[in-house]
């Protein structure tokens, strides 16, 4: 995980403000570095005037997770002065798993692409060929990323996020007219920043860039500002080889086949269910094997991997499969967050409710402890550590402004509810219960894990929301397929950028096995009746599959195959309601309401 900052200004180097710099260091506590480059731009106001000298400023912070040693960023090529700021995890390149530092390898491939095309083509074609070379490299990466790459040879700047939007990158301009890219919003709350879209690659060609006196600040300072309208968008394509200057979309079109007659039944012995387990295991292994030893915390923890753990189907399935992959001596932390919600507590008191723990009565705490017990039963030779992250209302208030700052430009009640839950869960600080010593008194504990597993993506891929069932009831298989297709198509527009900004604040990295490109590609090509149970024959009442919900039935059957009989029957619950971060002060508030 890294923090990225870039600015383009005609008035000298523009660095992140002090607050943003501090937040970027939180994301990447292992290294901080600044690099500046001067670029000449043709003066559009007069052909007789000298070119404008603009300053390109690159800042990177690094959370070192890959390879045998720390690799500082920005990466700078001493020969060409090209620069890369890279925040991501390349699990595979051109289908081959990679070892070592991924940022260094990607920078090497990018340099080869722009150098090769510049040397082997005519001057008229070299620039276009170099762009295609960059797109080919980016299309070959499997894994989450956001990056800024300056091709000094061809005077071009490229920036983007992966097509599923798993890393944060924002764009905006400050009061002086400087154009900025950053992992976080930089500037005051009134400064406009927006998410870099996940619909393709963005490029600034400095040979055609425009600077003009179009802002009050620029006019008063006597310096022109960058015209963002000259940023070119190179859209993702499914068949990029047929379309020049288009990066390849790694996710193929949805299989929209409708069964002829009754759909076949889905059981633990269905070939697709066995293949689902195998492919999910492969995706997970890439993300939890060969994790570097973390710095030891004040709690003495040396845990490498933790799970954002509600006790639901998706996260518990990841925990169960992690047991099969990781060495038996490694502890796996299960981070379970619960909040004191004064509105819920007042309502319970008004009904003459019990005076028990406000945390232990949270829905996610109840399911979390139940799933913890099932993991202990099924995998008794693993030390599972259940971390009860209890957040008093006063602590929520104390951190609320920080959470709102991190999640910007998102600004709704639902954004805040979800962001608060992820913020405190990923801090990983609470009371620890070890399965090896379950009768002992819990101790105050902070996880050392820098890798946090999340089950996000499972609901979209396997029809886990109630509206999927409603779509099937309304329009049959065609309606169900359209609803799933809509979810998958807008994965990149979901709120993963927001989640990344909140979780990375603690120097940790969320990894999403359900959002692996190869895994997603395989799932979207399955017929719909092999993902969920809508429209399939009910199993016999005495069979293991009896009583399973239709939502995410494929995953429920994998859980059954792995011995998790109770978790396989767990209901879907949104994080803000399970942890009770929603509607803390007022009951009559909508999730879409803007924050004041």
Q: Where are the extended beta strands (E) located within 198-294?
A: 200-205, 211-212, 225-226, 232-235
| Sign of the dihedral defined by the CA atoms of residues 506, 508, 512, 515, in that order | positive
Exposed e or buried b per residue across 407-439, where buried means at least 16 C-beta atoms within 10 angstroms of its C-beta:
bbbbeebbbbbbbbbbbbbbbbbbebbebeeee
CB 408 within 8 A of CB 594: no
Strands 200-205 and 232-235, by their bridges, are: antiparallel
CA dist 426 and 508 (Å) reads 7
Cα separation of 559 and 566, whole Å?
Answer: 9
Q: Give the single-character DSSP code of 253.
A: P
CA distance 338 to 335: 10
CB 449 within 8 A of CB 508: yes
- 436: phi then psi, degrees, rounded to nearest 5: -80, -15
Helix, strand, coil distribution of the chain in percent, nearest 5 = 35, 20, 40
**Residue 116: alpha-carbon gap to chain centroid:** 33
Q: What is the DSSP letter of 175?
A: T
> Which parts of 532-583 are beta strand (E)?
none
| 3-state DSSP assignment of residue 356 | coil
Q: 3-state DSSP call for residue 140? A: coil
73 closest CA partner among 177, 183, 156, 163: 183
By CB neighbour count within 10 A (0-12 exposed, 13-18 middle, 19+ buried), where does 323 fall?
middle
Enclosing H/E stretch for 523:
helix 517-524
Whole-number Å distance between alpha carbons of 372 and 390: 17
Judge contact between 150 and 83, C-beta under 8 A.
yes
Is residue 2 among the annotated active site residues? yes
CB within 8 A of 372, min separation 6: which ones? 311, 334, 336, 384, 386, 433, 435
Q: How far apart are the first and last CA of the chain?
A: 31
From the candidates 2, 21, 362, 420, give the one annotated as an active-site residue. 2
Contact call for residues 326 and 332 (beta carbons, < 8 A): yes
In order of 3, 17, 28, 147, 252, the CA distances from 59 in angstroms are 8, 12, 11, 12, 35
The catalytic site residues sit at 2
């Amino acid at each position: 995980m890294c923090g990225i900052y870039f600015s383009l200004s005609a008035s000298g180097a523009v660095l992140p403000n002090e607050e943003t710099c501090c937040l970027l260091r939180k994301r990447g506590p292992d290294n901080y570095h600044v690099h500046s480059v001067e670029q000449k731009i043709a003066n559009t106001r007069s052909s007789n005037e000298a070119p404008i000298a603009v300053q390109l400023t690159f800042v990177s912070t690094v959370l070192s997770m890959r390879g045998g040693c720390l690799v500082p960023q920005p990466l700078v090529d001493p020969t060409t002065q090209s620069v890369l700021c890279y925040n991501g995890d390349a699990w595979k390149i051109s289908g081959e798993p990679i070892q070592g530092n991924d940022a260094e390898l990607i920078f090497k491939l990018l340099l080869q692409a722009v150098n090769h095309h510049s040397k082997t083509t005519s001057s008229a074609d070299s620039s276009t060929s170099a762009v295609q070379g960059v797109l080919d490299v980016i299309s070959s990466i499997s894994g989450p990323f956001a990056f800024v790459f300056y091709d000094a040879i061809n005077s071009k700047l490229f920036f983007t996020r992966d097509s599923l939007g798993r890393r944060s990158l924002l764009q905006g301009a400050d009061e002086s007219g400087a154009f900025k890219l950053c992992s976080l919003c930089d500037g005051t709350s009134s400064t406009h920043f927006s998410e870099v879209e996940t619909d393709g690659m963005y490029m600034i060609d400095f040979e055609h860039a425009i600077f003009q006196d179009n802002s009050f600040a620029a006019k008063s300072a006597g310096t022109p500002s960058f015209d963002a309208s000259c940023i070119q968008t190179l859209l993702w394509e499914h068949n990029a080889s047929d379309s020049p200057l288009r990066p390849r979309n790694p996710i193929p079109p949805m299989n929209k086949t409708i069964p002829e007659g009754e759909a076949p039944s889905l059981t633990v012995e269905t070939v697709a269910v066995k293949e689902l387990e195998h492919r999910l295991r492969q995706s997970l292994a890439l993300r939890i094997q060969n994790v570097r030893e973390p710095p030891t915390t004040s709690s003495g923890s040396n845990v490498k991997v933790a799970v954002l753990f509600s006790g639901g189907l998706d996260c518990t399935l990841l925990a169960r499969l992690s047991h099969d992959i990781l060495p038996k001596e490694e502890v796996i932390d299960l981070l379970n967050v619960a909040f004191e919600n004064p509105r819920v507590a007042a309502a319970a008191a008004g009904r003459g409710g019990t005076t028990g723990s406000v945390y232990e009565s949270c829905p996610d705490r109840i399911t979390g402890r139940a799933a913890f017990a099932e993991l202990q039963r099924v995998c008794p030779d693993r030390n599972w550590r259940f971390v009860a992250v209890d957040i008093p209302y006063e602590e929520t208030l104390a951190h609320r402004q920080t959470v709102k700052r991190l999640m910007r430009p998102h600004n709704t009640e639902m954004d805040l509810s979800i962001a608060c839950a992820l913020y405190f869960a990923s801090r990983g600080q609470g009371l620890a219960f070890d399965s090896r010593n379950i009768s002992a008194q819990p101790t105050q504990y902070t996880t050392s894990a820098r890798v946090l597993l999340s089950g996000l993506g499972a609901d979209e891929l396997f029809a886990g929301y109630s509206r999927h069932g409603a779509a099937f009831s309304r329009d049959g298989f065609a309606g169900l397929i359209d609803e799933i297709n809509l979810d998958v198509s807008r994965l990149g527009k979901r709120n993963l950028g927001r989640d990344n900004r909140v979780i990375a604040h603690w120097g940790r990295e969320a990894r999403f096995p359900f959002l692996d490109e190869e895994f997603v590609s395989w799932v979207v090509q399955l017929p719909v009746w092999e993902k969920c149970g809508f429209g399939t024959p009910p199993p016999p009442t005495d069979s293991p599959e009896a009583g399973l919900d239709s939502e995410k039935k494929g995953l429920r059957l994998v859980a059954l195959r792995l011995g998790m009989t109770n978790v396989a029957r767990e209901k879907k619950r949104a994080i803000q309601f399970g942890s009770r971060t929603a509607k803390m002060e007022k009951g009559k508030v909508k999730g879409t309401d803007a924050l004041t």
